[in-house]
Amino acid sequence: MELFVVRDRRIDYDGSAIRSHWAYRNFGILGNSLVVFRGRCDVKVEEMIDIEDLRASREIKSDDMVHYIIEVFDLVNTLFASTLQKLFIARLCEVLGEYGVKTIRKGDDIYVNDKKLSISIATVSPVSIKIHIGINVEAKGIPEDVKAIGLKELGITDVEEFMEKSGKALAEEFKKVRKDSLKVRWAQ
């Protein structure tokens, strides 16, 4: 999995990055990829993947988030996509723990002190699985009915360092899973 951390600019997430080959179209990264960037979040209804959110007309927005866009071509399956999503969320909880932050994972969301820190979705395209994870930098611009928290409220002020560290942790986790899947033989 190729990791690319966007440092030179902000990119707003509107849901369109969940489409296949987004990393290739925008950054020339062909194959399994993880792109980490920072920007606003405002997912339009036509870009919503989660049908529950769509049916409930939930707003998905934040003024400032760290975004992770993951694309994997090895196995196109919604169960694999959801499993990998939850593995990455658990790994992000571990990274936050290294900063002294006590987290609780509820499905594919990260909470701190009963406040929501992240959003996430996993889906498939005809050629790949796609995962988006967003972590609030500050709890601003969040829908009023959501109790939220951000990295800065947790004392994580060097956001670029967090982007780099967490991106590396996720890419290494995927590489380990892939290696482990290749080193075993069939059961007889």
CATH of the domain at 6: 3.30.930.10
Could you tell me if 9 and 36 are in contact, meaning their C-beta atoms sit under 8 angstroms apart?
no
Could you tell me if 158 and 99 are in contact, meaning their C-beta atoms sit under 8 angstroms apart?
no
Q: Domain count for the chain, please give it.
A: 1
In this prediction, residue 155 carries a pLDDT of: 97
The arithmetic mean of pLDDT across residues 143-152, rounded, is: 94
Residue 187 lies in a domain: no
Residue 101, amino acid: V
Could you tell me if 112 and 149 are in contact, meaning their C-beta atoms sit under 8 angstroms apart?
yes
Residue numbers of the domain that contains 93: 2-182
The arithmetic mean of pLDDT across residues 159-178, rounded, is: 97
In this prediction, residue 46 carries a pLDDT of: 73
Query: What are the CA-CA distances from residue 171 to residues 116, 178, 185 (Å)?
Result: 24, 11, 24
The string of pLDDT tens digits covering residues 28-55 is: 999 999 999 999 999 977 777 777 776 6
89-94: long-range contacts, CB 8 A cutoff, minimum separation 24: 89/118, 89/120, 89/133, 91/169, 91/170, 91/173, 92/118, 92/133, 92/135, 92/166, 92/169, 92/170, 94/169
Residue 54 lies in a domain: yes
The arithmetic mean of pLDDT across residues 23-30, rounded, is: 98
In this prediction, residue 53 carries a pLDDT of: 73
Residue 24 lies in a domain: yes
In this prediction, residue 47 carries a pLDDT of: 77
Residue 162 confidence (pLDDT) above 80: yes
Both tokens of residue 83? 């499993």
Residue 135 lies in a domain: yes
| Confidence band for 188, pLDDT divided at 50, 70 and 90 | confident
Residue 62, helix vs strand vs coil: strand
The string of pLDDT tens digits covering residues 54-103 is: 667 777 999 999 999 999 999 999 999 999 999 999 999 999 999 999 99
In this prediction, residue 54 carries a pLDDT of: 66
In this prediction, residue 48 carries a pLDDT of: 74
The string of pLDDT tens digits covering residues 93-146 is: 999 999 999 999 999 999 999 999 999 999 999 999 999 999 999 999 999 889
